[in-house]
Amino acid sequence: MGDSGTNGSHSVAALPTSPLLPIRTPRKAPADDPTSDGEPVTPTARLMEPIYIVVTLGLGCPVNLPVFSAGIAAQLARYPRFCSIQVTDESNGGNPRWVRTVVNVDDHTIVPTLDPVAVAADPDGAVEDYLASLPALPMDRSRPLWEFHFLDFPTSEATCTAVIRVHHSLGDGTTLIALLLASARSAADPTRLPAMPEQPARTGAIYAPRPRSKGGVLPFLAWAWSYLVLAWNTVVDVALFAATIAFLRDPHTPFKYVDHGAASSSRRRFVHRSLPLEDVKFIKNAMDCTVNDVLVGATSAALSRYYFRKSGVPITPAKYVCALSSLSIQDQ
Protein backbone atom coordinates (compact mmCIF):
# COMPACT_ATOMS: atom_id res chain seq x y z
CA MET A 1 0.00 0.00 0.00
CA GLY A 2 1.61 3.24 -1.07
CA ASP A 3 0.62 6.75 -0.16
CA SER A 4 1.59 10.22 -1.17
CA GLY A 5 0.61 13.70 -0.11
CA THR A 6 -1.20 16.41 -1.97
CA ASN A 7 -1.55 20.14 -1.51
CA GLY A 8 2.07 20.42 -0.50
CA SER A 9 1.94 17.61 2.07
CA HIS A 10 4.47 14.80 2.13
CA SER A 11 4.04 11.07 1.90
CA VAL A 12 3.22 9.52 5.27
CA ALA A 13 5.79 6.78 4.77
CA ALA A 14 8.40 9.34 3.82
CA LEU A 15 8.13 11.35 7.02
CA PRO A 16 11.64 11.50 8.47
CA THR A 17 12.55 10.49 11.98
CA SER A 18 14.55 13.32 13.51
CA PRO A 19 15.61 14.01 17.09
CA LEU A 20 14.36 16.99 19.00
CA LEU A 21 15.71 20.22 17.59
CA PRO A 22 18.47 21.89 19.66
CA ILE A 23 17.67 25.47 20.50
CA ARG A 24 18.47 27.94 23.26
CA THR A 25 15.42 29.27 25.08
CA PRO A 26 14.94 31.25 28.32
CA ARG A 27 14.65 29.18 31.46
CA LYS A 28 11.40 30.89 32.41
CA ALA A 29 8.98 32.59 30.05
CA PRO A 30 7.39 35.84 31.20
CA ALA A 31 4.04 35.04 32.77
CA ASP A 32 2.34 37.96 31.02
CA ASP A 33 3.48 36.95 27.52
CA PRO A 34 1.49 33.95 26.20
CA THR A 35 3.52 33.84 22.99
CA SER A 36 6.88 33.42 24.72
CA ASP A 37 8.84 30.29 23.93
CA GLY A 38 10.35 27.87 26.36
CA GLU A 39 7.53 26.23 28.33
CA PRO A 40 8.94 22.90 29.59
CA VAL A 41 7.40 19.65 28.39
CA THR A 42 5.79 17.96 31.38
CA PRO A 43 7.10 14.57 32.60
CA THR A 44 3.77 12.96 31.69
CA ALA A 45 4.03 14.25 28.12
CA ARG A 46 7.61 12.97 27.88
CA LEU A 47 6.41 9.48 28.88
CA MET A 48 4.05 9.52 25.85
CA GLU A 49 6.97 9.54 23.39
CA PRO A 50 5.95 6.50 21.26
CA ILE A 51 2.15 6.86 21.66
CA TYR A 52 -0.28 8.35 19.15
CA ILE A 53 -4.03 8.91 19.35
CA VAL A 54 -5.83 7.88 16.16
CA VAL A 55 -9.46 8.92 15.62
CA THR A 56 -11.61 7.84 12.67
CA LEU A 57 -14.57 9.87 11.44
CA GLY A 58 -17.00 8.70 8.76
CA LEU A 59 -18.25 11.60 6.62
CA GLY A 60 -21.39 11.81 4.52
CA CYS A 61 -19.78 13.81 1.70
CA PRO A 62 -16.30 14.46 0.30
CA VAL A 63 -14.22 17.07 2.10
CA ASN A 64 -13.70 20.49 0.58
CA LEU A 65 -9.99 20.75 1.36
CA PRO A 66 -9.59 24.52 0.86
CA VAL A 67 -12.52 25.25 3.20
CA PHE A 68 -11.27 22.66 5.68
CA SER A 69 -7.73 24.07 5.69
CA ALA A 70 -9.03 27.60 6.26
CA GLY A 71 -11.17 26.43 9.16
CA ILE A 72 -8.33 24.48 10.78
CA ALA A 73 -5.96 27.44 10.40
CA ALA A 74 -8.51 29.77 12.02
CA GLN A 75 -9.53 27.46 14.88
CA LEU A 76 -7.47 24.38 15.77
CA ALA A 77 -4.03 25.64 14.69
CA ARG A 78 -4.22 28.66 17.00
CA TYR A 79 -4.08 26.59 20.19
CA PRO A 80 -0.62 26.62 21.81
CA ARG A 81 0.14 22.89 21.60
CA PHE A 82 -1.04 22.72 17.98
CA CYS A 83 1.32 25.48 16.90
CA SER A 84 4.37 24.37 18.91
CA ILE A 85 7.18 21.86 18.48
CA GLN A 86 9.33 20.10 21.04
CA VAL A 87 12.94 21.21 21.14
CA THR A 88 15.85 20.53 23.48
CA ASP A 89 17.20 23.24 25.72
CA GLU A 90 21.00 23.05 25.86
CA SER A 91 21.10 25.45 28.81
CA ASN A 92 18.85 23.20 30.90
CA GLY A 93 20.42 19.78 30.58
CA GLY A 94 18.78 18.92 27.27
CA ASN A 95 15.24 18.94 28.65
CA PRO A 96 12.60 19.40 25.93
CA ARG A 97 10.48 22.54 25.73
CA TRP A 98 7.52 23.73 23.71
CA VAL A 99 8.48 26.41 21.20
CA ARG A 100 5.99 28.23 18.95
CA THR A 101 6.37 27.85 15.20
CA VAL A 102 4.56 28.85 12.02
CA VAL A 103 1.89 26.33 11.03
CA ASN A 104 1.27 25.44 7.40
CA VAL A 105 -2.01 23.49 7.44
CA ASP A 106 -1.21 21.91 4.06
CA ASP A 107 1.71 20.11 5.70
CA HIS A 108 -0.74 18.51 8.13
CA THR A 109 -3.36 17.55 5.52
CA ILE A 110 -2.62 14.23 3.84
CA VAL A 111 -4.60 12.55 1.08
CA PRO A 112 -2.93 9.15 0.53
CA THR A 113 -2.98 7.31 -2.76
CA LEU A 114 -3.83 3.69 -2.00
CA ASP A 115 -3.79 0.60 -4.18
CA PRO A 116 -6.90 0.99 -6.38
CA VAL A 117 -7.29 -2.77 -6.75
CA ALA A 118 -7.32 -3.30 -2.97
CA VAL A 119 -9.71 -0.39 -2.47
CA ALA A 120 -12.12 -1.67 -5.11
CA ALA A 121 -12.02 -5.21 -3.73
CA ASP A 122 -12.53 -4.31 -0.06
CA PRO A 123 -12.80 -0.60 0.81
CA ASP A 124 -13.52 -1.31 4.49
CA GLY A 125 -10.43 -3.51 4.70
CA ALA A 126 -8.35 -0.82 2.99
CA VAL A 127 -9.38 1.68 5.66
CA GLU A 128 -8.49 -0.78 8.44
CA ASP A 129 -5.12 -1.57 6.81
CA TYR A 130 -4.33 2.13 6.58
CA LEU A 131 -5.30 2.73 10.20
CA ALA A 132 -3.15 -0.21 11.32
CA SER A 133 -0.11 1.30 9.57
CA LEU A 134 -0.37 4.76 11.14
CA PRO A 135 0.91 4.01 14.69
CA ALA A 136 4.12 2.52 13.25
CA LEU A 137 4.91 5.53 11.05
CA PRO A 138 6.98 8.37 12.57
CA MET A 139 5.88 11.99 12.58
CA ASP A 140 7.98 14.89 11.36
CA ARG A 141 9.17 16.62 14.55
CA SER A 142 10.04 19.80 12.73
CA ARG A 143 6.28 20.44 12.66
CA PRO A 144 3.54 20.32 15.30
CA LEU A 145 2.64 16.71 16.01
CA TRP A 146 -0.82 16.38 14.48
CA GLU A 147 -2.18 15.27 11.10
CA PHE A 148 -5.45 14.92 9.22
CA HIS A 149 -5.68 12.05 6.72
CA PHE A 150 -8.52 11.86 4.20
CA LEU A 151 -9.42 8.58 2.48
CA ASP A 152 -11.52 9.87 -0.39
CA PHE A 153 -13.41 6.73 -1.40
CA PRO A 154 -16.75 5.31 -0.25
CA THR A 155 -17.04 2.47 2.25
CA SER A 156 -20.03 0.55 3.52
CA GLU A 157 -20.67 3.22 6.16
CA ALA A 158 -19.35 6.52 4.81
CA THR A 159 -18.73 8.48 1.64
CA CYS A 160 -15.34 9.66 2.87
CA THR A 161 -13.22 8.77 5.90
CA ALA A 162 -11.23 11.30 7.92
CA VAL A 163 -8.45 10.04 10.19
CA ILE A 164 -6.93 12.29 12.85
CA ARG A 165 -3.52 11.34 14.25
CA VAL A 166 -2.25 13.32 17.23
CA HIS A 167 0.78 12.72 19.42
CA HIS A 168 -0.29 11.85 22.95
CA SER A 169 1.91 14.59 24.43
CA LEU A 170 -0.57 17.16 23.10
CA GLY A 171 -3.34 15.84 25.37
CA ASP A 172 -5.53 12.89 26.27
CA GLY A 173 -8.58 11.62 24.45
CA THR A 174 -11.14 13.64 26.41
CA THR A 175 -9.19 16.87 26.02
CA LEU A 176 -8.72 16.39 22.29
CA ILE A 177 -12.40 15.59 21.72
CA ALA A 178 -13.39 18.73 23.60
CA LEU A 179 -10.88 20.73 21.58
CA LEU A 180 -12.17 19.30 18.30
CA LEU A 181 -15.76 20.16 19.23
CA ALA A 182 -14.69 23.66 20.24
CA SER A 183 -13.10 24.08 16.80
CA ALA A 184 -16.27 22.95 14.98
CA ARG A 185 -19.13 25.20 13.92
CA SER A 186 -22.81 24.62 13.28
CA ALA A 187 -23.70 23.84 9.67
CA ALA A 188 -26.86 25.93 9.97
CA ASP A 189 -25.04 28.91 11.49
CA PRO A 190 -21.24 28.99 11.02
CA THR A 191 -20.94 31.72 13.67
CA ARG A 192 -21.94 29.50 16.60
CA LEU A 193 -20.74 26.25 18.16
CA PRO A 194 -22.63 23.00 17.47
CA ALA A 195 -25.39 22.34 19.99
CA MET A 196 -24.69 19.46 22.36
CA PRO A 197 -27.49 17.53 24.13
CA GLU A 198 -27.81 17.97 27.87
CA GLN A 199 -26.50 15.23 30.12
CA PRO A 200 -29.45 13.02 31.08
CA ALA A 201 -30.30 12.61 34.73
CA ARG A 202 -29.37 9.19 36.11
CA THR A 203 -32.33 7.77 37.99
CA GLY A 204 -31.73 4.02 37.75
CA ALA A 205 -31.57 1.67 40.69
CA ILE A 206 -27.76 1.55 40.59
CA TYR A 207 -27.64 5.34 41.08
CA ALA A 208 -30.19 5.48 43.92
CA PRO A 209 -28.71 6.60 47.26
CA ARG A 210 -28.32 3.90 49.87
CA PRO A 211 -30.91 4.00 52.63
CA ARG A 212 -29.60 5.14 55.97
CA SER A 213 -29.32 2.40 58.53
CA LYS A 214 -30.77 2.77 61.99
CA GLY A 215 -28.49 3.61 64.86
CA GLY A 216 -26.79 0.89 66.84
CA VAL A 217 -23.48 -0.82 67.45
CA LEU A 218 -23.64 -3.31 64.57
CA PRO A 219 -24.33 -0.70 61.83
CA PHE A 220 -21.50 1.44 63.22
CA LEU A 221 -19.10 -1.53 63.19
CA ALA A 222 -20.14 -2.40 59.64
CA TRP A 223 -19.54 1.21 58.58
CA ALA A 224 -16.12 1.31 60.27
CA TRP A 225 -15.17 -2.09 58.82
CA SER A 226 -15.98 -0.94 55.27
CA TYR A 227 -13.56 1.96 55.65
CA LEU A 228 -10.87 -0.31 57.09
CA VAL A 229 -11.26 -2.64 54.10
CA LEU A 230 -11.05 0.31 51.74
CA ALA A 231 -7.88 1.57 53.43
CA TRP A 232 -6.30 -1.90 53.36
CA ASN A 233 -7.09 -2.42 49.67
CA THR A 234 -5.65 1.02 48.92
CA VAL A 235 -2.39 0.17 50.72
CA VAL A 236 -2.15 -3.15 48.87
CA ASP A 237 -2.77 -1.51 45.49
CA VAL A 238 -0.12 1.15 46.13
CA ALA A 239 2.38 -1.49 47.27
CA LEU A 240 1.73 -3.62 44.17
CA PHE A 241 2.04 -0.57 41.93
CA ALA A 242 5.40 0.33 43.48
CA ALA A 243 6.59 -3.27 43.25
CA THR A 244 5.56 -3.43 39.60
CA ILE A 245 7.63 -0.34 38.86
CA ALA A 246 10.61 -1.78 40.76
CA PHE A 247 10.78 -5.49 39.89
CA LEU A 248 7.42 -7.16 39.21
CA ARG A 249 6.23 -7.74 35.65
CA ASP A 250 2.76 -7.92 34.20
CA PRO A 251 1.47 -11.48 33.75
CA HIS A 252 1.46 -13.01 30.29
CA THR A 253 -2.00 -12.66 28.80
CA PRO A 254 -3.44 -12.63 25.26
CA PHE A 255 -3.15 -8.85 25.45
CA LYS A 256 0.59 -9.00 26.09
CA TYR A 257 2.16 -11.83 24.12
CA VAL A 258 5.71 -12.75 25.17
CA ASP A 259 7.88 -15.27 23.35
CA HIS A 260 10.88 -16.74 25.24
CA GLY A 261 11.13 -13.77 27.57
CA ALA A 262 11.24 -11.14 24.83
CA ALA A 263 8.35 -9.05 23.66
CA SER A 264 6.93 -10.28 20.38
CA SER A 265 7.41 -8.05 17.36
CA SER A 266 4.18 -9.24 15.74
CA ARG A 267 1.86 -6.45 14.65
CA ARG A 268 -1.35 -5.72 16.49
CA ARG A 269 -4.38 -4.05 14.99
CA PHE A 270 -7.83 -2.93 16.03
CA VAL A 271 -10.92 -3.47 13.92
CA HIS A 272 -14.23 -1.76 14.46
CA ARG A 273 -17.76 -3.05 14.76
CA SER A 274 -20.80 -0.90 14.05
CA LEU A 275 -23.83 -1.21 16.31
CA PRO A 276 -27.32 0.07 15.48
CA LEU A 277 -28.01 3.03 17.73
CA GLU A 278 -31.62 1.87 18.10
CA ASP A 279 -30.43 -1.39 19.70
CA VAL A 280 -28.12 0.48 22.06
CA LYS A 281 -30.94 2.82 23.08
CA PHE A 282 -33.28 -0.15 23.61
CA ILE A 283 -30.82 -1.65 26.13
CA LYS A 284 -30.30 1.80 27.67
CA ASN A 285 -34.00 2.24 28.27
CA ALA A 286 -34.43 -1.30 29.59
CA MET A 287 -31.52 -0.89 32.03
CA ASP A 288 -32.37 2.74 32.85
CA CYS A 289 -28.78 3.86 32.24
CA THR A 290 -26.93 5.77 29.51
CA VAL A 291 -25.58 4.97 26.05
CA ASN A 292 -22.07 5.18 27.43
CA ASP A 293 -22.92 2.60 30.11
CA VAL A 294 -24.19 0.18 27.45
CA LEU A 295 -21.08 0.56 25.29
CA VAL A 296 -18.67 0.16 28.23
CA GLY A 297 -20.59 -2.90 29.44
CA ALA A 298 -20.56 -4.50 25.98
CA THR A 299 -16.83 -3.82 25.63
CA SER A 300 -16.15 -5.30 29.09
CA ALA A 301 -18.11 -8.44 28.27
CA ALA A 302 -16.37 -8.82 24.89
CA LEU A 303 -12.89 -8.48 26.44
CA SER A 304 -13.79 -11.03 29.13
CA ARG A 305 -15.06 -13.57 26.59
CA TYR A 306 -12.00 -13.00 24.40
CA TYR A 307 -9.65 -13.52 27.36
CA PHE A 308 -11.27 -16.77 28.46
CA ARG A 309 -11.43 -18.11 24.90
CA LYS A 310 -7.79 -17.32 24.06
CA SER A 311 -6.44 -18.48 27.43
CA GLY A 312 -8.28 -21.81 27.24
CA VAL A 313 -9.91 -21.30 30.63
CA PRO A 314 -13.53 -22.50 30.60
CA ILE A 315 -16.06 -19.79 31.30
CA THR A 316 -17.97 -20.57 34.47
CA PRO A 317 -20.70 -18.30 35.86
CA ALA A 318 -18.52 -17.37 38.84
CA LYS A 319 -15.51 -16.47 36.69
CA TYR A 320 -17.64 -14.57 34.21
CA VAL A 321 -19.31 -12.53 36.97
CA CYS A 322 -15.89 -11.90 38.53
CA ALA A 323 -14.50 -10.69 35.20
CA LEU A 324 -17.44 -8.42 34.64
CA SER A 325 -17.04 -7.07 38.16
CA SER A 326 -13.41 -6.18 37.48
CA LEU A 327 -14.47 -4.49 34.25
CA SER A 328 -17.72 -3.10 35.62
CA ILE A 329 -19.76 -0.35 34.11
CA GLN A 330 -18.52 2.92 35.50
CA ASP A 331 -19.79 6.43 35.32
CA GLN A 332 -17.74 8.01 32.52
Query: Annotated catalytic residue: which of 108, 149, 167, 168?
Result: 168
- Burial code (b: 16+ CB inside 10 Å, e: under 16) for 114-133 equals beeeebeeebeebbbbbbeb
CA nearest neighbour of 146 among 95, 72, 89, 87: 72
Are 27 and 91 contacting, i.e. CB atoms less than 8 angstroms apart?
A: yes
167 is catalytic: no
Q: How does strand 146-151 pair with strand 109-110?
A: parallel
CA atoms within 13 A on the CB side of 280: 14
Describe the crossing of helices 317-326 and 291-311 by its angle, rounded to 10 degrees. Answer: 130
Catalytic residues: 168
